[in-house]
Structures are given as structure tokens and as C-alpha cells.
Amino acid sequence: MKEKINGTQRALRILKALKGRTLDGLSNKDLCEAIDETPVNITCATAVLESEGFLRKLPTGNWTLSFTLLNLAVCYGQDMQAVNERFNEVRHRVMTGGF
């Protein structure tokens, strides 16, 4: 029996399936196969993701991650870099006794 999932889970699985496919994207059929979903559910989920700015449709008709979503990833990386820099600063102070 097929696992029952909600719309949020379906949308997140679509985003995961598109990882590494930014340039060529995936078709609705490819997404159906990737996450074992029906075409109707894929169409509904991609429509929501597109309206919320997380997906964009390529000229080929394939879906890909939007620049908005990619920007979130870049911002996350910058945040983690700032955390790492702060950690290194505190570690340096502890190691040198300068706190």
C-alpha cells in the first residue's frame, strides 16, 4: 500500500528531487517517478510551490528551483560562515586568555 503523505510533505519531496537539477530541471512525469506520486498531486504541489516563489518553470516545461529558493541557500551559507567566524573568535580568546 502506498504511503499517505500530506501536501507539505509532497512539496518538500519535490524540492529534494530537484536538488542538483537547477539547469535542466525535471518534468511533471520525472517528478511523479522521483517521489512516487500521481500527476494530479504533482500538478497541485508544483502550482503551490511556484505561486510561493520556490519553483520556476523552464522554457522546456521542466521545473527547477527558483532563484528565491537558491538565495535562501546562499543566505544560510552566509549565516553559517558568520557563526563559524564568531566561534573562531571566541576560541581564539579562550586560547590566548583574552576574555
- Can you give the residue ranges of every domain in the chain? 1-65, 66-99
pLDDT at 98 (0 to 100): 72
pLDDT at 28 (0 to 100): 98
Distance from chain centroid for Cα 1:
28
pLDDT at 99 (0 to 100): 66
E strands in the chain: 55-57, 63-65
Residue 51 identity: S
Q: How far apart are CA 71 and CA 52, in angstroms?
A: 14
Q: For 55-69, what is the mean pLDDT? A: 96
The phi-psi region of residue 3 (left if phi > 0; otherwise alpha if psi is between -120 and 50; otherwise beta) is: beta
Tens-place pLDDT, residues 1-60: 467 789 999 999 999 999 999 999 999 999 999 999 999 999 999 999 999 999 999 999
Whether 39 and 28 have beta carbons less than 8 Å apart is answered as: yes
> Which band of pLDDT confidence, cut at 50, 70 and 90, is reported for residue 70?
confident
Does the pTM surpass 0.85? The reply is: no
* Domain 1-65, CATH number (from 1.10.10.10, 3.90.1150.10, 3.40.190.10, 1.20.1080.10): 1.10.10.10
Residue 58 identity: L
